Amino acid sequence: MSLDIIATYAVAVLLIIGSFFVVVAGIGLLKLNDPMTRLHAPTKAATLGIGAYLLAAMVSSFLSGSGSLHELLIMAFIFVTAPVSANFMAKANIHRRDCLPNPPELPDGDTWATLNVPEEDREIEEAPPNA
């Protein structure tokens, strides 16, 4: 079997793996019923799904003779930014008091940074969500 054929199959397999994880992320987003657990599906399943797509793109570009390494950068940026966006969504959930149960209290008078609201913003923080 020549290298071309092996590489072509590798691209196909990577695309199938990628699609599987992206579909699972979508199913998770629809199925899970609480905002905090729903956060788990896209942050993880989607990273590996997109990673597999990018690997497929890279192999396919080398196969057609015009090698491309842009995909490595895209992957690095996704791995750096996915936790940040997940953290922002989690913070929004904490502000909305949307997580069941609410985060546990901390020992020795410490508070969670998200709930540490300055005095002048107390009113906004304590207003019921969707008001």
Minimal distance, residue 1 CB to another protein, in Å: 26
Binding part of the chain for another protein, among 1-9, 86-94, 120-128 by CB under 8 A, reads 86-94
Distance from C-alpha of 75 to C-alpha of 81, rounded to nearest angstrom? 10
Total site size for another protein, rule CB under 8 A: 46
Q: Which of 7, 10, 47, 63 binds another protein (CB under 8 A)?
A: 47
Q: What angle do CA 11, 13, 19 make, to 5 degrees?
A: 100
Distance from C-alpha of 124 to C-alpha of 127, rounded to nearest angstrom? 5
Q: Under the criterion CB under 8 A, does residue 114 sit at the interface with another protein?
A: yes
Length of the chain equals 131
Distance from C-alpha of 32 to C-alpha of 45, rounded to nearest angstrom? 14
- Residues 7-46, one symbol each (x = binds another protein by CB under 8 A, - = not), give -------------xx--x--xx--xxxx-xx-xxx-xxx-
Q: Under the criterion CB under 8 A, does residue 82 sit at the interface with another protein?
A: yes
- Taking alpha carbons only, the member of 7, 17, 10 closest to residue 47 is 17
Q: Is 69 helix (H, G, I), strand (E, B) or coil?
A: coil
Amino acid making up residue 31: K
Where does this chain bind another protein (CB under 8 A)? 20-21, 24, 27-28, 31-34, 36-37, 39-41, 43-45, 47-48, 68-70, 72-73, 79-80, 82-84, 86-87, 90-91, 93-94, 99, 101, 103-104, 106, 110-114, 116
